[in-house]
Amino acid sequence: MKWLIGLVLVVVAGAGLWWSGLLNQYLPTAKPQVAQQTATTTPQQQTTPAPINDLPTQTSDTSDAAMAQDTAAVDAQMQGLQNDSASIDQSFNDKATAQEY
C-alpha cells in the first residue's frame, strides 16, 4: 500500500513540475528542430549545383528536331576544336623575329 502512495506522490509531483514549466528546459521542443533542419538543408542546396546543360535543347527533349539541333551544336564546337588545335600547332611553329644589335 505504501508503494502505491509513493507512486501517486511521484506522479503528482511530476505533473506539477510539468505544469509549472520547469521541465521545459530539459525537454526537446519543435523550435530547435526546425532551426536545425534549416541549418542542414541550406548547405546541401549550395553544394549540389544543377548540372550545366551545354546543349541548345532541354535534356529531356528526345525529339528528332531537338537532336538535330544538338548535333549541329556539337559540330560547331568540333569545328572550334579544329581551330584550337591548329592554334596549338601555330604556337609550336612560331619563331621570333631576329633582332639587330
Partner 1 sequence: MKTYFSLRSHIAGALGLSLLVPAFALAQIDSSVINNTAAAVNAAGSASAQANTPVRTSAQVQVSASTTVSTAVMTRAKTKADTEIDRRIKALGDLNTRVQAMTKITADFKTNLNTNIQNQISGLTALKAKIDADTEGSVLKTDVQSVTSSYRIFALVMPQARIAAAADREATIINMMAALGAKLQARVQATQAAGADITAVNTALVDMGNKLQSAQTHAQAAVSGSATLTPDKGEKTLMAANDAALKTARAEIKSAQTDLVAARKDVDTILKGLRTISAAAAASSTVQTQ
Return the number of the residue (45 or 91) whose C-beta is nearest partner 1. 91
Closest CA to 57 of 68, 46, 41, 44: 68
Return the number of the residue (27 or 52) whose C-beta is nearest partner 1. 52
Q: Please, are residues 73 and 56 in contact by the beta-carbon 8 Å criterion?
A: yes
Closest CA to 59 of 71, 48, 67: 67
Q: Footprint of partner 1 on this chain (CB under 8 A)? A: 51-55, 59, 61-62, 66-67, 70-71, 73-75, 77-78, 80-82, 84-85, 87-89, 91-92, 94, 96-101
Work out how close the CB of 46 gets to partner 1 at its nearest, in angstroms, rounded to a whole number. Answer: 16
Residues in the chain: 101
